[in-house]
Amino acid sequence: MRRADLLASISRRDSLEFLARMIRIRSYSDTPGEAELAHVMVDAMKGLGLEASAQPVEGHRINAIGRWRGTGGGKSLMFNGHLDTNPVTEGWTVDPLGGLYDDRFVYGIGVSNMKASDAAAFCAVKTLIERGVRLRGDVVLTYVVGELQGGVGTVKAIEAGIRADYFINGEPTDLAGLTLHSGAFGWVIELTGVTRHMSKREEAVDALAAAAALVPRIDGLAFSGAASAEHAAVDRAHVGVIRAGLSRELHEWRPPQVADFARLLGTARYAPSQSEASVLGDFRRVLDDLERERPGLAASMAVIDAGRRPTMLPFEVPRTARIVDVVSRAYRAVRRAAQPLGAIGPYCFYGSDASHLQHRANMEGIVCGAGGRYNTMPDERVDVDDYLDAIKIYMLAMLEIAEGPALEA
One DSSP character per residue, 75-107 reads --EEEEEE--BPPP-TT-SS-TTS--B-SSEEE
Q: What is the pLDDT of residues 30-82, one digit of tens each?
A: 999 999 999 999 999 999 999 999 999 999 999 999 999 999 999 999 999 99
pLDDT of residue 387: 98
What angle in degrees, to the nearest 10, is found between the helix axes of 12-23 and 116-130?
Answer: 140
* pLDDT (0 to 100) of residue 103: 96
What is the spatial distance between Cα 269 and Cα 223, in angstroms, rounded to a whole number?
10
237-263 average pLDDT score? 97
Q: Tell me, what's the pLDDT at 163?
A: 97
CB 112 within 8 A of CB 172: yes
pLDDT per position as a tens digit, 116-171: 999 999 999 999 999 999 999 999 999 999 998 889 999 999 999 999 999 999 99
- Phi/psi for 186 (5° steps) reads -95, 150
Q: What percent of the chain has pLDDT over 90?
A: 94
User: Which pLDDT belongs to residue 306?
Assistant: 67
Give the chain's end-to-end CA distance (angstroms, integer).
9
What is d(CA 53, CA 62) in angstroms, rounded to the nearest whole number?
Answer: 10
Determine the CATH number of domain 3-180+314-401: 3.40.630.10
Strands 77-82 and 139-144 come out as parallel
Task: Indicate the helix (H) or strand (E) that contains 206.
Answer: none
Residues 6+ apart with CB under 8 A from 278: 223, 224, 225, 270
Residue 61 is predicted with a pLDDT of 96
Residues 6+ apart with CB under 8 A from 243: 250, 262, 263
- Which pLDDT value is given to residue 335? 97
Given this model, what pLDDT does residue 407 score? Answer: 80
Contact of 198 with 266, CB cutoff 8 Å? no
The pLDDT value recorded for residue 11 is 97
Query: Which pLDDT belongs to residue 307?
Result: 65
Q: Report pLDDT for 1.
A: 78
- What is the reported pLDDT for 310? 86
CB neighbours of residue 294 within 10 Å: 18
pLDDT tens string 309-332: 788 999 999 999 999 999 999 999
What is the amino acid identity at position 118? D
SS3 268: strand
Strand partners, 190: 263, 300
Label residue 305 by pLDDT band (50, 70, 90): confident
Average pLDDT along the chain = 96
What residues does 184 pair with on adjacent strands?
Answer: 269, 312
Domain limits, the chain:
3-180+314-401, 184-303
CATH number of 184-303: 3.30.70.360
| pTM, rounded to two decimals | 0.93
The rounded distance, in Å, linking the Cα atoms of 40 and 27 is: 11
The pair phi, psi for residue 177, each rounded to 5°, is -95, 105
Of the candidates 135, 143, 141, 85, the one whose C-alpha atom is nearest the C-alpha of residue 110 is 85
The per-residue pLDDT for range 344-393, each reduced to its tens digit, is 999 999 889 999 999 999 999 999 999 999 998 999 999 999 999 999 99
| Residues 394, 376: Cα–Cα separation, whole Å | 24
- pLDDT at residue 2 greater than cutoff 80: yes
